[in-house]
Amino acid sequence: MRPTVLRRTTVAAAVTTTLAGLTVAAALPAAAEPQHPSGPGPVDVQLLALNDFHGALEPPSGSGGRVQTGPDPDGGGAATAPTVDAGGAEYLDTQLAALAEEQRKDNTITVAAGDLIGASPLLSAAFHDEPTIEALGLAGLDYASVGNHEFDEGSAELLRIQDGGCHPVDGCVDGTPYEGAAFQYLSANAFVTETGEPLLPPYAVHRVQGVEIGFIGMTLEGTGQIVSQQGVAGLEFADEVATADRYAAELQAQGVEAIVVLLHEGGTQSGPEAWDVDGCAGLTGPIVDIATGMSDAIDVVVSGHTHQAYNCLLDGKVVTSAGSNGRLVTDIDLQLDGRTGDVIHETATADNVVVERTVAADPEQTALIARYREVLGPIAAEVVGSVAVDLTRAQEDPLDGAESTLGNVIADAQFAATDDEQGAVAAFMNPGGVRADLAAGEVTYEEAFTVQPFANNLVTLDLTGAQLNCLLEQQYQVGRVLYVSDGVRYQVDPAGTPAAAGADPCTGTRVPDASLQIGGAPVTADETYRVTVNNFLAGGGDGFSVLTGGTNPVTGAIDLDAFTAYLGADSPVPAPALDRITRVG
């Protein structure tokens, strides 16, 4: 079904958050007899939604801290389009409170669609993201689905984040007890392999003026392929549609007819109107098939993962996403039938509201940030090097010639850390591991950490020339093109055909084998080459299974250490040319 935009025609109302009547479901709750209120009038409910916060307590910098507000008048793309600065916990909290106050009723529920933590700036990551959980609790968050990054440090750590307690290795880093999350994480499709039960409650039921609303929380089914194997050990991830339908039926059996899915999977707008954060222009991606495939019992899908913003009506369901880094809040207004408890679809409205930094900063969030900033100490401000110009993650084309200045620098840094030490002749870096831009000038340790926050080890291993060619083809099978170090050159044929999903990646024809060169010499199929990747890729992360066939692996430095050493060795670092991947024709 063709997605359509769901635009609000009036300013939506909002309310202060309540946990009154909150019920978190057990993994397999017993069915209850349906209970419906008898009142004839509709019940107004407001959902305030966010996703992919990634520990952005302080206003994020670069493109991750701006929102495009209109089309580019010169036609040059997003780089010259009008934008506003947005995001930061102090302003997010204020915006949430303002939206809730508009409704002047106690009917607001604040929700999130995963990746609230993980891939976080140093201010949050240094404390195992406890500051972010505390900040979101202060902001009134009620329920959140898990996302793939919630599993970065493993399931035991996620349970600690939910329930509280000091970190088992680092203790209570800030010197105070960690009480756990004030909101409830939901993980309907993340199952413990040993027991077959969800790791966390699959859903929660929230009562508003006698009417119950069910919230089902899920991460994407492919979480096991995009998180390190240590992070997802002992877990299995189920199909999103089947899981949502299963628990929607369970909720209906209890008499819950208003059902919201919080899903960490999403889509992307396309075309000239794709900049519109409140639009639904040419929406593509997994969310389209997932939302249309779900049971009609589901009324709203709050999505995420792609860091994009949209506001759609898909197969009768309200489907939204609020970008990333707390730059937007989705304000969803629903009316529930006072007799049946179901959503009155004709009156549903939604808005993506920009979290501008022109509003007053919330004082509690300001104090929280200041406290953790003081504990963090001077290491954050230590200068590790400098860059001559802005280095960005921006890619002119995500697949054909997918280079960026910052991505190339990081690949070069990893090669420099392992060429003499491990005999590497090339390095490959996954774009998802590059998390922020770098502005021209001095680079602090904190800024470098924000770019490379995962603390992955570098792994140097042997691959044959044939395996390298298969690796390049696998890029187009999984939809992610790796950054390559200087000295690697190859061509991409847009007319070529990627290998089918699940097929041998070597059957793809996007990269002519004869075009691959390392150090100016053609790569031959039976020759052995030592290449460097991070341990996430070496374990087959992002779907790069070819790398698991490498031999003689040697684990080296942390990627961040390699990056900071490279920045300091030859400052200011210039922007490398984007000439490592070229198109045929």
Q: Is 462 in contact with 387 (CB distance < 8 Å)? A: no
Cα–Cα dist 76/95, whole Å: 32
Cα–Cα dist 427/568, whole Å: 19
> 323: exposed, middle or buried (C-beta count within 10 Å: 0-12, 13-18, 19+)?
buried
What is the pairing mode between strands 441-444 and 309-314?
unpaired
What is the CATH class of 4-371? alpha beta
b/e sequence 49-62, b meaning 16+ C-beta within 10 Å: bbbbbbbbbbbbbb
Query: Quick one: pLDDT band at residue 401, thresholds 50, 70, 90?
Result: low
pLDDT per residue as tens digits for the range 186-211: 999 999 999 999 999 999 999 999 99
What is the DSSP-derived secondary structure letter of residue 225? H
Q: Is 436 in contact with 60 (CB distance < 8 Å)? A: yes
* Residue partners of 169: CB distance under 8 A and separation at least 6: none
Q: Is 13 in contact with 188 (CB distance < 8 Å)? A: no
pLDDT per residue as tens digits for the range 319-378: 999 999 999 999 999 999 999 999 999 999 999 999 999 999 999 999 999 999 999 999
Q: State residue 80's pLDDT score.
A: 74
| DSSP per residue, 389-454 | S-B----SSSSTT---HHHHHHHHHHHHTTHHHH--SEEEE-GGG----B-SEEEEHHHHHHHS-S
Annotated domain spans of the chain: 4-371, 382-583
**Given the structure tokens 């002519």, which residue do they identify?**
512
Mean pLDDT in residue range 149-157: 97
Q: pLDDT: is 222 or 62 the higher one?
A: 222
370 CB neighbour count, 10 Å cutoff: 10
Q: Where are the alpha helices (DSSP H) in 336-404?
A: 363-376
With 70 as the cut, is the pLDDT of residue 507 above it? yes
Note if the pTM is more than 0.85.
yes
Whose CA is closest to 527, among 518, 538, 515, 540?
518
Topology of the domain covering 382-583: 5'-nucleotidase;  domain 2 (3.90.780)
**Given the structure tokens 């607001």, which residue do they identify?**
108
Q: Is 164 helix (H, G, I), strand (E, B) or coil?
A: coil
Q: State residue 409's pLDDT score.
A: 98
Phi and psi angles of residue 302, each rounded to the nearest 5 degrees, phi first: -90, 115
Q: Is 62 in contact with 439 (CB distance < 8 Å)? A: yes
Q: State residue 40's pLDDT score.
A: 59
